[in-house]
Amino acid sequence: MNRGQKTQFTNHIQRIQASLSQLIKTGVGRGREAKESNYQEIVSVLQELHFNTTESDVQEGAALIKELLKKDVEVAKPLVDPMIAMKLNALKHDSSGVSFTIAGVYVQLDCDQLKHQPPETPIGTRVTHGGNKFLRICDANWHHHNTMTYMANWANGLGAMTPGQREFHGQFAAVNGIHYEGFCLYANGQKWVSFHCYPANGSPLKGN
């Protein structure tokens, strides 16, 4: 980056500091996944500004973010195809914050889960209206042991997948009274699942 671009980059990261501090993994000695995630986050910022995304640009961006956050920021260029890294990054950005690794599969409820949760047990952030809602008992712990476990088993049942491959569940047919909308992505040698779900009409899990 030239001097003017560095100034633009600094001004931009100052504006998004709150979200950036949640997305960037700080500290020395972080694992490969954390370093690659940081690399891709910085690439995303550079793309927003329509700057080049060479490795040197990313390193310069990491140094500027370190200066802003007052914490070490380590990066590593992804070993996987950049397009696969972007798919994985997009998946993680859509997380509601409720995620577990179940039977070797990373599973998360996405932001859209909010409209299907009762007010007492919110999950997700995307504010929309309409949609069947679960009963009050269907909190994060309940989803962990029920819907998220089901999706982990579904993902494992897909068998071998190739890097970057995505398989969608399909929401139209309910499974035990629950509709699932989401997908499984194979990246970095494992399966990643992102979804939301809602009770079918007539299901005993459907709230008022």
* 54 & 102 share domain: no
pTM greater than the 0.85 cutoff:
no
Number of domains in the chain: 2
Cβ neighbours for 70, distance < 8 A, ≥ 6 positions apart: none
Q: Which two tokens stand for residue 197?
A: 């779900």
Mean pLDDT throughout 109-115?
A: 94
* 175 & 100 share domain: yes
* 37 & 68 share domain: yes
- Whole-number Å distance between alpha carbons of 169 and 21: 33
* 104 & 175 share domain: yes
**Among 31-45, 67-81, 150-164, the range of highest mean pLDDT:** 150-164
Q: Using 50, 70 and 90 to split pLDDT, how confident is the model at 127? A: confident
- Give the model's pLDDT for residue 18: 86
pLDDT above 90 as % of the chain: 62
Lowest mean pLDDT among 88-92, 127-131, 141-145: 127-131
Residue 65 lies in a domain: yes
Q: Which two tokens stand for residue 59?
A: 């390193």
Residue 90 lies in a domain: no
189 pLDDT exceeds 90? no
pLDDT in tens, 151-182: 999 999 999 888 889 999 988 889 999 999 99
Residue 86 lies in a domain: no
* 22 & 65 share domain: yes
Could you tell me which of 145, 133, 156 has the C-alpha nearest to residue 205?
133
Say how many residues make up the chain: 208
* 119 & 53 share domain: no
* 68 & 99 share domain: no
* 53 & 17 share domain: yes
Cβ contact 198:179 at 8 Å? yes
Residue 148 lies in a domain: yes
Q: Using 50, 70 and 90 to split pLDDT, how confident is the model at 116? A: very high
H/E element, 102: strand 95-102
Residue 159 lies in a domain: yes
* 148 & 176 share domain: yes
- Whole-number Å distance between alpha carbons of 9 and 31: 26
* 145 & 117 share domain: yes
Residue-wise DSSP of 180-203: EEEEEEEETTEEEEEEEEEEPTT-
Which of 79, 110, 137 represents a domain boundary (last residue)?
79
- Give the model's pLDDT for residue 104: 87
Residue 194 lies in a domain: yes
Which of 79, 107, 130 represents a domain boundary (last residue)?
79
- Whole-number Å distance between alpha carbons of 14 and 19: 10
Residue 162 lies in a domain: yes
Q: Using 50, 70 and 90 to split pLDDT, how confident is the model at 131? A: confident
- Whole-number Å distance between alpha carbons of 133 and 115: 7
pLDDT above 70 as % of the chain: 100
Q: Using 50, 70 and 90 to split pLDDT, how confident is the model at 80? A: low
140 pLDDT exceeds 80? yes
- Whole-number Å distance between alpha carbons of 114 and 116: 5
Mean pLDDT throughout 127-152?
A: 92
Domain of residue 28: give its range: 3-79
Which of 79, 112, 142 represents a domain boundary (last residue)?
79
* 70 & 8 share domain: yes
